[in-house]
Amino acid sequence: MSRAMWLVALAVVLWAYPACAQVEPEEWPDDIATEVRPHTLQLTLIDKETGKPIPEVKVRYIGADESGKFGGRDVTDANGVVAFNLPSNKLQHLGMAIRMPGYIPMGARWSGTVPAKAILLMERGTVIGGKVVDDAGEPVVGAKVHLTVERDAGQLNAGFDIAGDWVKTGEGGLWTYDRAPAGFVRAHVGVSDPRYITDELNTRKEVKPEDAIARKVVLTRRRGVTYGGVVFDTRGRGVEGAIVRLHAPENAAVQGEFKTGSKGEFQVTVDASHVGSLSIQREHFSPEKIDLSNVPAKEPLNIALQRGRMLRLKVVDTQGQPIPNAWVQLGVWRGISLNEFHQTNAAGEFTWTAAPEDDVQVSVSHQHYEAAVLLAVKASDETRIVTLRQK
**Sign of the Cα pseudo-torsion (202, 206, 212, 217, in order):** negative
Do the bridges between strand 58-65 and strand 68-75 make them parallel or antiparallel, or are there none, so unpaired?
antiparallel
Per the rule left: phi > 0, alpha: psi between -120 and 50, beta: everything else, 122 is beta
- Radius of gyration in angstroms for the set of CA atoms belonging to the chain, rounded to a whole number: 23
Q: List CB contacts of 7: < 8 A, sequence separation 6 or more.
A: 62, 69, 71
| 119 confidence band (pLDDT: 50, 70, 90) | very high
Task: Please determine, for residue 34, whether its predicted confidence score (pLDDT) is greater than 90.
Answer: no
Looking at residues 134-142, what average pLDDT do you find?
A: 94
Report the alpha-carbon distance of residue 28 to residue 114 in Å, rounded.
Answer: 9
Say whether 119 sits in a helix, a strand or coil.
strand
Distances (CA, A) of 256 to 191, 243, 350, 379, 386: 11, 10, 28, 28, 33
pLDDT of the residue at 302: 93
Report the alpha-carbon distance of residue 137 to residue 123 in Å, rounded.
Answer: 36
Classify each residue of 31-48 as buried b or exposed e, where b means 16 or more C-beta atoms within 10 Å of its C-beta: eeeeeeeebebebbbbee
156/1: higher pLDDT: 156
pLDDT of the residue at 200: 52
Q: What percent of the chain has pLDDT over 90?
A: 54
Q: What is the DSSP letter of 274?
A: S
| 157 confidence band (pLDDT: 50, 70, 90) | low
Q: What is the pLDDT of residues 280-297, one digit of tens each?
A: 999 999 999 999 888 887
- Find which of 65-69, 178-182, 313-317 is predicted with most confidence, using mean pLDDT: 313-317
101: cis peptide before it, omega within 30°? no
Say whether 326 sits in a helix, a strand or coil.
coil
Report the alpha-carbon distance of residue 215 to residue 197 in Å, rounded.
Answer: 24
pTM: 0.67
- Could you tell me where the DSSP H helices lie in 93-242? 200-203, 209-213
Do the bridges between strand 58-65 and strand 90-98 make them parallel or antiparallel, or are there none, so unpaired?
antiparallel
Q: Are 144 and 63 in contact (CB under 8 A)?
A: no
Q: Are 385 and 312 in contact (CB under 8 A)?
A: no
Q: What is the pLDDT of residues 302-348, one digit of tens each?
A: 999 999 999 999 999 999 999 999 999 998 999 888 878 999 999 99
Report the alpha-carbon distance of residue 12 to residue 152 in Å, rounded.
Answer: 19
Task: Please determine, for residue 15, whether its predicted confidence score (pLDDT) is greater than 60.
Answer: no
Q: List CB contacts of 273: < 8 A, sequence separation 6 or more.
A: none
Task: Please determine, for residue 243, whether its predicted confidence score (pLDDT) is greater than 60.
Answer: yes
DSSP string computed for 246-261: EE-TTT--EEEEEE--
pLDDT of the residue at 7: 41
Q: 326 phi and psi, to 5 degrees?
A: -75, 145
Do the bridges between strand 301-304 and strand 336-343 make them parallel or antiparallel, or are there none, so unpaired?
unpaired
Q: Are 144 and 202 in contact (CB under 8 A)?
A: no
- Find which of 25-34, 218-227, 336-345, 351-360 is predicted with most confidence, using mean pLDDT: 351-360
Q: What is the pLDDT of residues 88-108, one digit of tens each?
A: 888 888 998 999 889 999 888
Task: Please determine, for residue 17, whether its predicted confidence score (pLDDT) is greater than 80.
Answer: no
Q: What is the DSSP letter of 375?
A: E
